Amino acid sequence: MKKWHELSIVELAHQYRTKEISPVEIVDATFQRIKEQDGMLNSFITVLESEALEQAKKAEKTFMENEDVHVLSGIPFSVKDLFDTDGIRTTCGSKILKDYVPSTTAPIIKELEELGAVLIGKTNMLEFAYGIVHPDYDQTNNPWNPAKTSGGSSGGSAASVAAGLGFFSLGSDTGGSIRIPASYCGIAGLKPTYRLLSLKGVFPLSPSLDHIGPMAKTAEDLSVLMNSLTIIRPGTVYDQGKVPVVGILKEECLKDITDNVKNVYSQTIQLIKRMGWEVKEITLKYFDRTEELIMKVLLPEAALIHEKWLDRSEDYSPLTFSQIEAGLNQNTLTYLRAKKECDLASEDVDNVFKEVDIIFMPTVPYPAPDEDPALEVDDEMMFTGLFNITGHPAVSIQAGFSKDGMPIGMQLAGRKYGDSWLLYKASQLENQLAGMRGKM
């Protein structure tokens, strides 16, 4: 029998309605768990215990009166600390904004609260989502092994969900910042189609590449969340019964992944074939250019955003500020050429999706390392970054474990605005993977 913090969103919603458990009990238990575990994990910057308990009481009243309420009513959630929250500080994991208190709330958070979801806190993150932790906030550690990182930049969101400190979280993703920590922490994370979810009220890193999306235990939970949110465009309708054609990379593209990841990848491919899904080798023309193009776009866009704080260099971590300086010094033509190539990369992936329904690959080349790698020397974005450039939806699901017991995620990408169908298929694969592990 599952413990309360292991329940899915749907399972918890059912228990609310059968009155096996109440929102107040769950929110109380969540804060008790935060007090017991987050000193080790460092996943929260701000917790909202009194505010959350008030919201939980309102939700509990609706259940006691047998009102017909939304599936998210009474469900505790958190948000990465770059979403504006009226009257609650929003630090972006930075010293620059350590005392910043917005006067408005990001529309996506307001919508979740109107549906009855209970905001329990703001999660830790890399400084301005820019690839390095600020020493004032320290690294978020991995629930599976606190000696390892939870990843970034949405590491606090991933760790909190994985540790049962809330049932879902919102993060941001500019090169993999939802999917990478999801892989490290053994949960599911979705980077939706570009601009499918509104970025209003979210502090930007690189507007051309930024996405926001949900993180939860499973792809099924992600589906519940995406189906609950108002989206900018309607999703494309697909036949759920369709047997997908799955595109996989040529072997040479996988030469740099670790043996642990390679083993899980190979086992998952074999499972996909046993499920009856067709597998087809593909070529992505811009696969080897991903990190180069991201940095050529990201550096100048981020520099423009941070230009107003150039006289506060001592308040940034040194690496963050050096990247801002690099963006200021980048040639305009370099940026414009990179933007043009990003458009070509998007067209190339669109063309690949004329032949396949899903692109499948590892999420990260390795399990969680001890520390967050420096952005300028790491290869974390090897598999994730392409879909920030192209805007296609991509989801990471828990697929297996390394020999020392650390989670390993696999990534599925789909056609633009096919987010719902992609999550449906990801959930099918996720369930099969869980069943396979249960038999081992």
CATH number at residue 288: 3.90.1300.10
Q: pTM (2 decimals)?
A: 0.97
Given a cut of 70, whether residue 386 has pLDDT beyond it is yes
C-beta atoms surrounding 404 within 10 Å: 10
Given a cut of 90, whether residue 374 has pLDDT beyond it is no
Please give the average per-residue pLDDT across 15-24, as a whole number.
96
pLDDT of residue 294: 97
What is the distance between the alpha carbons of residues 290 and 386, in angstroms, rounded to a whole number? Answer: 5
Given a cut of 80, whether residue 413 has pLDDT beyond it is yes
For tokens 């690099």, the residue is 326
Identify the DSSP state of 236. Answer: P
List, for residues 77-87, the tens digit of each pLDDT value. Answer: 999 999 999 99
Q: How many domains does the chain have?
A: 1
Tell me the pLDDT band of 149, cut-offs 50, 70 and 90: very high
For tokens 């499948």, the residue is 360
Residue 288 contacts by C-beta under 8 Å, 6 or more apart in sequence?
Answer: 253
List, for residues 211-264, the tens digit of each pLDDT value. Answer: 999 999 999 999 999 999 977 766 666 777 889 999 999 999 999 999 999 999
Given a cut of 80, whether residue 313 has pLDDT beyond it is yes
pLDDT of residue 377: 45
pLDDT of residue 177: 98
pLDDT of residue 239: 78
Given a cut of 80, whether residue 376 has pLDDT beyond it is no
Phi, psi torsion values for 89, nearest 5 degrees: -60, 150
Q: Which residues are catalytic?
A: 80, 153, 177
Could you give the angle at the alpha carbon of 169 between the alpha carbons of 224 and 194, nearest 5°?
A: 70
pLDDT of residue 235: 63
Please give the average per-residue pLDDT across 67-83, as a whole number.
96
Phi, psi torsion values for 362, nearest 5 degrees: -60, 160
Given a cut of 70, whether residue 440 has pLDDT beyond it is no
Q: Among residues 258, 278, 259, which one has the least CA distance to residue 269? A: 278
Given a cut of 90, whether residue 356 has pLDDT beyond it is yes
What is the distance between the alpha carbons of residues 243 and 220, in angstroms, rounded to a whole number? Answer: 19
What's the mean per-residue pLDDT of the chain?
95
Encode 157-169 in three state secondary structure.
HHHHHHCCCCCEE
Instruction: Give the alpha-carbon dihedral of 165, 171, 173, 177, to 10 degrees.
Output: -20
Please give the average per-residue pLDDT across 94-111, as a whole number.
98
pLDDT of residue 240: 76
C-beta atoms surrounding 432 within 10 Å: 15
pLDDT of residue 155: 98
Classified as helix, coil or strand, 178 is coil
Tokens of 167: 């049932």
Residue 408: domain span: 1-440
Tell me the pLDDT band of 13, cut-offs 50, 70 and 90: very high
Tell me the pLDDT band of 339, cut-offs 50, 70 and 90: very high
